[in-house]
A and B are shown apart, each in its own frame.
Chain A
């Protein structure tokens, strides 16, 4: 992570970079030795995806002060664009079985398709941003929420079937497992299926951090702090809000493509409002205005919901004693209680507005300027 405050990187920033790189190395090593079916990797893959989308949402809600709830809609666009353009031509007849193999009869490389996912989402954001960004706060939230619902319905429309496969799912496109390097026999030589998604999310989040710490990032933050003052300082509100909206949607689109790879299938009906709320929850728990917070909380969130609390859904017997209450669905009860506790006792989220380098500076005993800049 860069520090633009001083010209040279200070020690806290260097330590942060080292920590992040060490995590990557650790994941790489773990992946080679721990069986690929371990829940750990599932959590990291989904966590990386959610972290990217959460940071992109934070860019809007936390840094620009635009309360948008359209994230699931933009993820849907990203997931579909990725799916549509990466299904191998030979498999299209299977996937588009009701639509004669569909309209698209070519395949793009994975990373080109991911880029296209982002661009498609950003372009749509540009269009709907024109009317929607004139609204403020809760009205804007409702409008973007409505947009996401319309997108979801539209992609299931039968007339669009040759492209979107209607309400049937897209499948057989390259997923995370295809990043593993295999030998001629098809045996995996180097496992990369967890590292690559983590890298993609990392690069995207790094770009967002660069943006936040640039002159445009300052302009966006000034809009959040005080629109009237920002405008009086010569910052054109409409264009800057549109910029933030498009960039956020771009990364939500890329996140959608990652989610498609994680799930190995795409179906419009799974991109519900609940998905946006999950992301929003991650942003709030992590701290509105903290990239580190969003990343941390998305991994914690995914780990809790997918892994650590799973045992609550099953009957547990300790000795002769059968633990009461544990049955299917109880996990969600505990999960909700944990979230309520976090929200009640950490009003600012786990990180507040602080970032990783700020924490290290704190440990070093230096004064932190409110964590406003990184």
Chain B
């Protein structure tokens, strides 16, 4: 088995009486595309928010490449190498495409506010701009660089969010429903794109997605959760035929209730 990158160990998140995520354990290895799926309200985004530091888990542990990151601040976790996109697009609305991606380079700066204000960091600034241009070319947004981010068509905005996340130079990329609102054509292109950037930027990808075609197409492994609990895991074909998964997604007659795996 290859090198373990992200390790989630018995993670639980309670909001008052509601258990949003219950004893979730996952292992994500370097270079894999791992999907987390489940019906609406199963706790997928909550799991994401714990990994990225938005929530501190009630119990459990998250390890990034051997380092405990449980309960660290979101910006610290991003600095350590986990970047994310959002389910509902959150671009910087007052900025152009170029600036959106450039801003995500800020965390790798070596300048302080004085050296940046008085342009003593000109070399670094220039390098950041060149890297941003290069990145925009790689993801195919270079032509749109001077457009306002929010004026882009929906699919391009999703793409820009990924580009912005890549700009933080992550090791693990978390995609929260990257294909939401996309048509089948766009979804297919997105799948190819995710595979492409995974190889190009030496990434490990962890995604939440509802488009089953996309999930089955690109994932190496899939975890399925329902009501915050893991009900199945395995390769796409294994998961597809798992009775517990079918039950969670389609429902079953009460007489032939399937006990969770």
On A, residues with C-beta under 8 Å from B are 4, 7, 207, 210-211, 214-216, 218-219, 221-222, 224-226, 228-237, 243, 247, 289, 353, 369-370, 372-373
A233 x B168 contact (CB < 8 A): yes
A353 x B94 contact (CB < 8 A): yes
Binary interface encoding of chain B residues 71-99 relative to chain A, with 1 for a CB under 8 A from any of its CBs, else 0 = 00111101100011010001111111001
Chain A contact surface mostly: helix
From A215, A237, A289, B111 is in contact (CB under 8 Å) with A215
Cβ distance A73 to chain B, nearest Cβ, rounded Å: 23
A233 x B107 contact (CB < 8 A): yes
A214 x B117 contact (CB < 8 A): yes
Given A215-B116, A233-B164, A234-B75, A370-B107 contact (CB < 8 Å): no
Q: Which residues of B contact A219 (CB under 8 A)?
A: 103, 106
Give the top 9 A-B pairs by smallest Cβ distance, nearest first. A234-B107, A234-B78, A229-B90, A225-B92, A214-B116, A233-B104, A211-B117, A231-B74, A218-B103
- Give the segment of B56-64, B118-126, B232-240, B250-258 that binds chain A: B118-126
Interchain Cβ contacts under 8 Å between A and B, 10 examples: A215-B103, A221-B94, A221-B95, A224-B94, A229-B92, A235-B106, A236-B76, A243-B113, A370-B94, A370-B96
Asked whether any CB of chain A lies closer than 8 Å to the CB of B186, the reply is no
Considering residues B52, B93, B111, B146, which has the most beta carbons from chain A within 10 angstroms of its beta carbon? B93
Q: Which residues of A contact B165 (CB under 8 A)?
A: 233
**Alpha-carbon gap, A176 to B36, bound state (A):** 68
Asked whether any CB of chain A lies closer than 8 Å to the CB of B148, the reply is yes
On B, residues with C-beta under 8 Å from A are 52, 54, 73-76, 78-79, 83-84, 86, 90-96, 99, 102-107, 109, 111, 113, 116-119, 121, 125-126, 128, 146-148, 164-165, 167-168
B92 x A369 contact (CB < 8 A): no
Q: Which residues of A contact B119 (CB under 8 A)?
A: 210, 214
Cβ distance A335 to chain B, nearest Cβ, rounded Å: 31
**Alpha-carbon gap, A228 to B93, bound state (A):** 13
Cβ distance B127 to chain A, nearest Cβ, rounded Å: 11
A234 x B104 contact (CB < 8 A): yes
Among residues of A, the one whose C-beta sits closest to the C-beta of B90 is A229
**Alpha-carbon gap, A353 to B95, bound state (A):** 12
Considering residues B76, B106, B128, which has the most beta carbons from chain A within 10 angstroms of its beta carbon? B106
Given A215-B105, A369-B148, A236-B75 contact (CB < 8 Å): yes
A233 x B99 contact (CB < 8 A): no
From A218, A226, A237, B106 is in contact (CB under 8 Å) with A218
Cβ distance B122 to chain A, nearest Cβ, rounded Å: 10
Q: Which residues of B contact A372 (CB under 8 A)?
A: 94-96, 99, 148
Among residues of A, the one whose C-beta sits closest to the C-beta of B105 is A215
Given A229-B90, A233-B106, A234-B107, A373-B96 contact (CB < 8 Å): yes
Cβ distance B90 to chain A, nearest Cβ, rounded Å: 4
From A224, A232, A373, B78 is in contact (CB under 8 Å) with A232
Cβ distance B75 to chain A, nearest Cβ, rounded Å: 5
Cβ distance A362 to chain B, nearest Cβ, rounded Å: 15
B107 x A216 contact (CB < 8 A): no
From B86, B94, B126, A225 is in contact (CB under 8 Å) with B94
Considering residues B76, B90, B102, which has the most beta carbons from chain A within 10 angstroms of its beta carbon? B90
Given contacts A215-B116, A231-B73, A369-B148, 11 further A-B contacts (CB under 8 A): A218-B99, A228-B90, A231-B75, A232-B52, A232-B78, A232-B84, A233-B165, A234-B106, A236-B73, A353-B94, A370-B96
